[in-house]
A and B are shown apart, each in its own frame.
Chain A
């Protein structure tokens, strides 16, 4: 079946503009995660959605960052008033959630460049 897809693959934006990043998880996966990865670094957890429960937003770096997941499927990560330090690769992953071992399946990422 299809894997996790993300769009756009690359996004260049001017400082101060808002951006939206999209993630389509694997069908049937109830958990969805967003991470940020700066050049040469590990994964920084941002937010995750688990079924119908309230999302875990503990990793969001500021109130400029928000995410929603509609209908338990597609998710959108929104960054308002982008800053240069927001430049990074944003990765989305999905997993089965409860009942699974937590194996996460990642999309290819969206490379965000703020100029």
Chain B
């Protein structure tokens, strides 16, 4: 299993602020997904990035896949309490779609 690191582990911010979370590895990945998990529920897929340097936007969320496809970031603009959750990055590790999940970044947005 490749080393996969997410940072920070925990982030608490006020509504309206911006935040960025990171996902880093020494390995190259064919694709990577970001999931958000809310308390008491399973993770929900947010986005899949495939191409090095790719940037995808989902409303106030911006996802970037590093040029070398070893790292990724998630930026949230003007965070809202509904953005609270555990953000997990998950690169694909085989042709069947097996994912390796990071430990996650717990984001708390207070009104």
Interface, chain A (partner B; CB < 8 A): 4, 31, 33, 35, 40-43, 45, 48, 50-51, 56, 91, 93, 95-98, 100-109
How far does the Cβ of A26 sit from chain B's closest Cβ, in whole Å? 13
Say yes or no: A95-B97 contact (C-beta < 8 A), given A101-B48, A102-B92, A107-B42.
yes
Q: How many A-B residue pairs have CB under 8 A?
A: 69
Bound CA–CA A109/B45 (angstroms): 16
Interface contacts beyond A31-B97, A101-B50: sample of 17 additional A-B pairs, CB < 8 Å, sorted by A = A33-B98, A42-B88, A42-B102, A42-B104, A45-B98, A48-B98, A50-B96, A91-B43, A97-B97, A98-B95, A101-B92, A102-B97, A102-B99, A103-B48, A105-B45, A106-B42, A109-B42
A-B contact pairs, 10 of them (CB 8 A): A31-B97, A43-B101, A48-B96, A97-B96, A101-B31, A103-B33, A103-B45, A107-B42, A108-B41, A109-B41
